[in-house]
Amino acid sequence: MIARLGLGFCASEMGSIWRTTRALCSPHHSSRIGRLRMSTQELLKVDIINEKQGVGEICMQKSPVNSLDRAMLAGLVDSISRLERDGCRALLITSGVRGIFSAGLNLLDLYDQQKEDLLQYWGMVQEMFLRLYGTSMLTVACITGAAPAAGCLISTSCDYRLMLDQPKTVIGLNESLVGLPVPDWMRMNFCDVVGRRQTDLALQMGLLFPARDALRIGLVDQVADSPEQLREAALQRVAQFLKVPDEGRVPSKRISTEPLLSYLSGRRQKDAELFVTSLSQESVQAVMGKYLEALRNKKA
Amino acid sequence: MIARLGLGFCASEMGSIWRTTRALCSPHHSSRIGRLRMSTQELLKVDIINEKQGVGEICMQKSPVNSLDRAMLAGLVDSISRLERDGCRALLITSGVRGIFSAGLNLLDLYDQQKEDLLQYWGMVQEMFLRLYGTSMLTVACITGAAPAAGCLISTSCDYRLMLDQPKTVIGLNESLVGLPVPDWMRMNFCDVVGRRQTDLALQMGLLFPARDALRIGLVDQVADSPEQLREAALQRVAQFLKVPDEGRVPSKRISTEPLLSYLSGRRQKDAELFVTSLSQESVQAVMGKYLEALRNKKA
Amino acid sequence: MIARLGLGFCASEMGSIWRTTRALCSPHHSSRIGRLRMSTQELLKVDIINEKQGVGEICMQKSPVNSLDRAMLAGLVDSISRLERDGCRALLITSGVRGIFSAGLNLLDLYDQQKEDLLQYWGMVQEMFLRLYGTSMLTVACITGAAPAAGCLISTSCDYRLMLDQPKTVIGLNESLVGLPVPDWMRMNFCDVVGRRQTDLALQMGLLFPARDALRIGLVDQVADSPEQLREAALQRVAQFLKVPDEGRVPSKRISTEPLLSYLSGRRQKDAELFVTSLSQESVQAVMGKYLEALRNKKA
């Protein structure tokens, strides 16, 4: 599975990306909160799992690796907004794909693209982060599978992280392996979780951490031996967090998140330009091209 | 005892606060350094415990929970100044109350008060912090009992912390539990000790840590099994610190404390306004009102 | 050996310093990269140890304690530049002196000197740091012996640190013991490695850490039981780092080092003035004088 993930950038759904995007804009509801139905698949399952406590869940279930293409990014933003409007106080981010949390950004959206498309795609990545990291809801990542690159970003954007202790389930910002530097705000977000030294080491080496190592450096807060145990632990932790009245919890969260939210909000265009410039380097595109070809050969 | 502490804000000495304040301004001395005699009780016992090394001690002994009312705050400021004038190089902060280090701010000074009174009280809290955190003396907190909220602040304002490993002796900034956000400078001071991640988690959840957990996250530096062992360890550590000549030790301390001292000194009025605004929210006052009533019923 | 190191400032090569400096400016080469031949001794042995991977090594071998006098500082700067020009991607800093990595700055360059000489010497210390910390090469410190004061600085300026676990091999910024505050940029560099709390404690107390303690607080990344094991582990780690393409590794390093490089580059003159002022205090010079005399008596 990890072999298929490769560098944390996913290219497994070649084609069929754009079909689903439009669908997102007018989703059909199948429950109170509704589910975001995509053309032929459900990318995200969104539910309120505890009405009394106000706990919502966004389950990523986009086979094979929950890659963050435009449809997924827009779906995440939309789902967060809807759960907030519905008065949720907490949000669980989970995965419905076995062995995968999210493989991160979609390589096909990054390889051999026009600059305008790249800028737009990156804007959606920023938006997803700003909405998830910036929500007043308590956010808990249930990392039941691999979470490289932007899969790690989703995790570190949450207030709490639980991770399944099983082979091949790893987490980290491994962008440097494909020749891409991690954008500064993504680095800051990671650094706020594990501290400066581990950030330097992990990002320079492109390290992916198994659950026990992730726990040791503080990249996750808790590990579990089975998905069931993980979910139960997550719900217990949510209940514990929600005992704190929102008058205390929400400002405590805001004082923590505000600096990075302000920083990125104030330089979205500049950040996008920087990223696209890094990405467009011939050497980087060459690494990606090779990687995509390897994937195609593997499938053939 | 912890039950009586409740949320780390103390309201156990209803009445009798103002009587003592004036006394503080003209204290009677009973030893070289003198003791601050309050109308009917001694709030603080101040002594030089090692003339040769220049080690002073401030022992908080205001039953039942060393709450930080105006008299205690003024007494702490005054005692620090006097020990400095007397040439002390080190200061032990201890408690003479069994099971309690300090329960923090006095709830009666925060509940249902006029804005002017709140601003003045908060100014005294700031002043106590600036004097304790800003002193050139080596400061060591001997945490022999519970240290919630501002009891934790006193501890983290010191250079070194030892904590008694016994049931009910906990430490932490649990303000969010009463719907109050921790002021930014208090958060920064806590963060300098335990780091960003533990700060986020502890403040959002209002966590109180037993000694072993406090040691694990770095909130205290050493634990002891008995008050006697703790005191002996503290004195050993003081002697070790004082082997460093003040030419090296004092600038090393100042380079560490100066940024936060400057920050708060430059915005005391603004900080006070912010705190009073948070505090005056109906929802916060309501939580406090309920808590005070519960305390009264318990006593009756 | 440690007794001879004393406070991490070295004064063991009284005389014979200036003879070697000129030699440095026109070094003779004895291999492709060349060796910096000093008048009568080789201060530094510089080699490419793996042509294929592009791994260079600078071995400090200035008996008895690798003190950083002008010749050593200039030699380090020069060696780094030459390895860069030669296309090296990685650099090992090692010691050829048994039991010593580097004892740090040369006390004779700090004691009883003219202000202009002190300013010039300090400028060379800054330059060495800026070049070592600022290089794009992956840098690995092989700490096979004591590394107090600027010996620690050299270590923390590298990307990775391995340390020999043996008696008397310690590391730390112990400047406060001679009454000298650690300059702010040196403190920042240390803090980026071990975090704020350990920095406060270590610098105020002038702590020197044995290998296991250094590992525990994150001051080194790995320990080894013998010099051979250490070297093997270092080379393995270098190979692992170098699997990351420079397109990803170098910007990941630069985003980490750039703030401190900019900070110090922008205030070299001011920093030097501050240091010289601290150093010139009578009390500090007095401590040094006593220390030098003790050394002389020991030799006699």
Q: Is A183 near chain C, with CB under 8 Å?
A: no
CB contact under 8 A, A192 and B195: no
Q: How far apart are CA C149 and CA C133, in angstroms?
A: 16
Whether A159 and A276 have beta carbons less than 8 Å apart is answered as no
C-chain CB neighbours of A204 within 8 Å are: 138, 159, 241, 244, 249, 252-253, 256
Q: How far apart are CA A50 and CA A238, in angstroms?
A: 11
**Which among B182, B200, B281 is the nearest to A247, CB-wise?**
B281
Residue whose C-alpha is closest to residue A132's, from A53, A44, A63: A44
Q: Enter the tokens of residue A160.
A: 């709490």
> What per-residue confidence (pLDDT) applies to A270?
98
Tell me if residue A272 falls in helix, strand or coil.
helix
Q: Do residues B260 and B189 lie in contact, with contact meaning Cβ atoms separated by under 8 Å?
A: yes
Residue A228: the pLDDT is 98
Partners of residue C255 in chain A, C-beta under 8 Å: 181-182, 184, 187
User: How far apart (Å, rounded) are the C-alpha atoms in residues A1 and A98?
Assistant: 10
Would the pLDDT of B238 be above 80? yes
- Neighbors of chain B by Cβ distance (3+ pairs < 8 Å): A, C
CA distance A204 to chain C (A): 5
Find out whether the peptide bond into C64 is cis, omega within 30 degrees of 0: yes
Helix axis angle for C184-194 and A196-205, nearest 10°, is 70
What residue type is assigned to position C151 of the chain?
A: G
Whether the bond between C245 and the residue before it is cis, its omega within 30 degrees of 0, is no
For residues C295 and B33, give the distance between their C-alpha atoms in angstroms, rounded to a whole number. Answer: 42
Q: Are the Cβ atoms of A176 and C241 closer than 8 angstroms?
A: no
Rounded CA-CA distance A112/B187 in Å is 46
Q: Hey, are the CB atoms on C248 and A206 less than 8 Å from each other?
A: yes
Kindly report the average pLDDT of chain B as a whole number: 87
C90 touches chain B (CB under 8 A): no
Chain C touched by A196 (CB under 8 Å): yes
pLDDT in tens, B117-167: 999 999 999 999 999 999 999 999 999 999 999 999 999 999 999 999 999
Question: Comparing C-alpha atoms, which of C130, C32, C127 is closest to residue C87?
Answer: C32
- From residue C283, how far is each of A265, B246, B255, C11, C274 by CA, in Å? 51, 10, 19, 19, 16
b/e string for A10-27 if b means 16 or more Cβ within 10 A? bbbbeeebeebbebbeeb
B143-152 pLDDT per residue, tens? 999 999 999 9
Higher per-residue confidence, C60 vs C30: C60
Binary contact (C252, A204; C-beta < 8 A):
yes
Nearest to B139 by CA among B75, B72, B84, B200: B84
The answer, yes or no, to whether the previous bond of A64 is cis (omega within 30 of 0) is: yes
Q: Are B171 and B2 in contact (CB under 8 A)?
A: no
Res C8: pLDDT = 56
Give residues with Cβ within 8 angstroms of C296, minimum separation 6.
none
Q: Determine contact: A178 vs chain C, CB below 8 A.
A: yes
Cβ pair C179:B255 closer than 8 A: no
Cα–Cα distance, B166 to C207 (Å, whole number): 30
Give dist(CA A291, CA A175) in Å, integer: 13
Over residues B167-178, the pLDDT tens digits come to: 999 999 999 988
Cβ within 8 Å, pair B218-C206: no
Q: Please give the pLDDT value at position B8.
A: 55
CA distance C76 to C70: 10
Query: How far is Cα B207 from Cα A194, in angstroms, rounded to an integer?
Result: 20
pLDDT digits (tens, 9 = 90+) for A68-112: 999 999 999 999 999 999 999 999 999 999 999 999 998 888 988
Which residues are B44's β-sheet partners? Answer: B36, B60
Structure tokens of C225? Answer: 């039981």
**Chain A partners within 8 Å of B205 (Cβ):** 240-241, 244
Task: Give how far C143 is from chain A: nearest CA, Å.
Answer: 18
Q: Give how far C279 is from chain A: nearest CA, Å.
A: 31
Q: Which residues, 6 or more positions from B3, have their beta carbon under 8 angstroms from its beta carbon?
A: none
Which of A218, A240, A252 is facing B197, going by the closest CB pair? A218
Contact across the interface for B176 and A252, Cβ inside 8 Å: yes
pLDDT tens-digit map of C1-39: 333 333 455 444 433 222 222 223 223 333 444 444 443
The strand pair at A209-210 and A170-172 is best described as antiparallel
The H or E element containing residue C100 is strand C99-100
* Chain B from 23 to 52: CB within 8 A of any C CB: none
Give the pLDDT score at A300: 65
Q: Give me the pLDDT at residue A62, please.
A: 95
User: Of C231, C257, C229, nearest to C137 (Cα)?
Assistant: C257
CA angle A27/A32/A37 to nearest 5° reads 25
CB-CB under 8 Å, C195 with A195: yes
Any CB–CB contact under 8 A between C183 and chain B?
no
Which regions of chain A does DSSP assign to beta strands (E)? 36-37, 42-50, 55-60, 67-68, 90-95, 99-100, 104-105, 138-143, 145-148, 160-164, 170-172, 209-210, 222-224
Cα–Cα dist A39/A110, whole Å: 23
Give the pLDDT band of residue B37 (cuts 50, 70, 90): very low
Interface A-C: count of C-beta contacts within 8 A: 64
Assess B217–C contact: CB distance below 8 Å, yes or no: no
- Would you say B52 and B85 are in contact if contact means Cβ atoms under 8 Å apart? no
Tell me the Cα Rg of chain C. 18
Closest chain A residue to C239 measured between Cα atoms?
A: A205
Pairing state between β C170-172 and C145-148: parallel
Which is it for strands A222-224 and B36-37: parallel, antiparallel or unpaired? unpaired
**How many other C-beta atoms are found inside a 10 Å radius of the C-beta of residue A213?**
15
pLDDT for A179 equals 83
List the 1-20 stretch of B: residues with Cβ below 8 A of A.
none
Nearest CB partner across the interface for C252, out of A181, A195, A283:
A181
C253 CB within 8 Å of a chain A CB: yes
The Cα–Cα gap between B151 and A172 comes to 38
Tell me the per-residue pLDDT of A21-65, one tens digit each, with 9 for 90 and over.
Answer: 222 322 333 344 444 444 334 899 999 999 999 999 999 999 999
* Statement: residue C42 has pLDDT above 80: yes
